[in-house]
Copies of this chain bind each other. A is one copy, B any other.
Amino acid sequence: MSGGPGGISMDELQLAARNHGMPLEALRYDVTPVGLHYLLIHFDIPAADDDSWRLELDGQVDRPLVLRMDDLRRRPRVTAPVTLECAGNGRARMDPRPVSQPWLEEAVGTAEWTGTPLRPLLEEAGIGEGAVEVLFAGADRGLQAELEHDYERSLPLAEAMRPEVMLAWGINGQPLPPQHGYPLRLVVPGWYGMTSVKWLRRISVLTEPFDGYQQTGTYLLHTSEDDPGTPVTRIQPRSLLLPPGIPVFESRERLCAPGHHLLTGRAWSGLAPVARVEVSVDGGASWQPAQLEPQPSPWAWAGWSLPWDATPGSYELCCRATDAAGNTQPLDPPWNTGGYANNAVQRVKVTVRP
């Protein structure tokens, strides 16, 4: 379903009023403060209580487990910075616009997640013969495409066994707030955010691929409903720049003083380390290489900067990340039915005043 040419519908606005992107000036923070990290709540935030929460681990395992939060917190603890991005980021820039949460380009954030690695837990339960996938079930429930279901997503077994996949109960040194999955969530570095199931209450080892709605009915890249499509998985490379100067309230366009500016931003890719960032001040007609900072981990964004001597005039600032595998950002949005993985370059209109 595509949006009409006249603008965002009230249904889309209801989603945009609940969920939110990261205000772009928050690109100044290595670690995004709670409340500024992007947020996509699929159904409702469920009521949850740390004391009574149980995580079940079942399916094709030798020893099914039921774990309390205290059991989990006694396990080996890891803290890691991870950049998460919504698979629908950029959707509202597509034409025609697929109808769902209407993101522009701010559906991203980097948090310091604290939890316990998943792999040792799966090994303790004992993965049985014929296991192919691991299913993660959240406590949020609703209807989508007229199907009632809990929010559930699976990972291929090899992806679930990656050492950096964790069950997290903390963010930025605090307990998870309700909107980020309190008391427990999955964090899958490198994958779009729909994979990192919040309010996690069950993990099931499967001998057949999961075919629930959130796995096979949506989060697919296809250009028509007849095309079976390919699943949305890893985060495509993207960079964002911190809009310089001051904003115009109505348009969010920018006004700058002439002279020296240090353009800064962040870049990330779930496919490979970030290899380079280029910046354009003329809407992508010409590019200059930015200074790239080291990534704190392969799964967290890198800072970048480029000095800009601004002279009076009108500019369209863009930035473009390329990863070590050669993946880069297109100038125009790559269209698909669901509006996923649009990593087209950001465009920031700036007027430098005399």
**Interface on A for B, CB 8 Å cutoff?**
3-21, 23, 25-26, 28-29, 33-37, 39, 41-45, 47, 92, 99-100, 102-104, 106, 141-144, 148, 177-180, 243, 246-252, 255
Q: What's the Cα separation between A102 and B13 when bound, in Å? A: 8
Give A11 to B8 CA distance when docked, in angstroms: 11
Determine the distance from Cα of A21 to Cα of B21 in the docked complex, in whole angstroms.
12
Q: Which residues of B contact A37 (CB under 8 A)?
A: 35
Residues of chain B lying within 8 A (CB to CB) of residue A177: 33-36
- Most interface-central of A8, A100, A250 (chain B CB within 10 A): A250
Residues of B within 8 A of A103 (CB): 17
Q: Given the complex of chains A and B, what is the CA–CA distance between A334 and B8 in angstroms?
A: 23
Q: Is the CB of A36 within 8 A of B178?
A: yes
User: A105 — nearest CB in chain B belongs to which residue?
Assistant: B17
Q: How many copies does the complex hold?
A: 2
Query: Given that A7-B9, A104-B14 are contacting pairs, would A23 and B47 also be in contact in the complex, using a CB cutoff of 8 Å?
Result: no
Residues in B with CB closer than 8 Å to A143 are: 246-249, 255
Please, how many angstroms separate the alpha-carbon atoms of A10 and B102 in the complex? 10
For the complex, give the distance between the alpha carbons of A82 and B201 in Å. 34
Q: Is the CB of A246 within 8 A of B8?
A: no
Task: Tell me the smallest distance from the CB of A93 to a CB of chain B, in Å.
Answer: 9
Closest to A7 in B: B7
| CB neighbours of A45 from chain B (8 A) | 23, 25-26, 36
Q: How far is the CA of A20 from the CA of B38 in the complex (A)?
A: 11
Q: Which 9 A-B pairs have the closest CB atoms?
A: A6-B6, A7-B7, A20-B20, A8-B8, A35-B35, A144-B249, A16-B16, A25-B44, A17-B21
In the complex, A61→B88 CA distance in Å?
54
Q: B247 touching A44 by the CB < 8 A rule? A: yes
The residue of chain B having its C-beta at the shortest distance from the C-beta of A25 within the complex is B44
- Indicate the member of A14, A100, A103 with the most B CB atoms within 10 Å: A14
Contact check: which of B4, B43, B141 meets A7 at CB < 8 Å? B4
Q: Is the CB of A21 within 8 A of B23?
A: no
Taking a contact as CB atoms under 8 Å apart, the answer to whether B13 and A16 are in contact is yes
Cβ contact within 8 Å between B142 and A249: yes
| A5 CA / B10 CA spacing, docked (Å) | 11
How far, in angstroms, from A26 to B102 measured CA to CA in the complex? Answer: 22
Cβ of A78 to closest chain B Cβ, rounded Å: 23
Instruction: Indicate if the CB atoms of B12 and A8 lie closer than 8 Å.
Output: yes
A243 to B42, CA, bound (A): 15
Kindly provide the distance from the CB of A71 to the nearest chain B CB, expressed in whole angstroms.
25
Q: How far is the CB of A148 from chain B (nearest CB, A)?
A: 7
Pair B20/A19 contact, Cβ less than 8 Å: yes
Name which of A11, A103, A141 has the most chain B CB atoms within 10 A of its CB: A11
- Expressed in whole angstroms, the Cα–Cα distance for A36 and B34 within the complex equals 10
Cα–Cα, bound, A335→B236 (Å):
45
- Among B21, B28, B250, the residue within 8 A (CB) of A18 is B21
Residues of B within 8 A of A17 (CB): 16, 20-21, 102-104, 106
A142 to chain B, nearest CB (A): 5
- Cβ B33 vs Cβ A179 within 8 A: yes
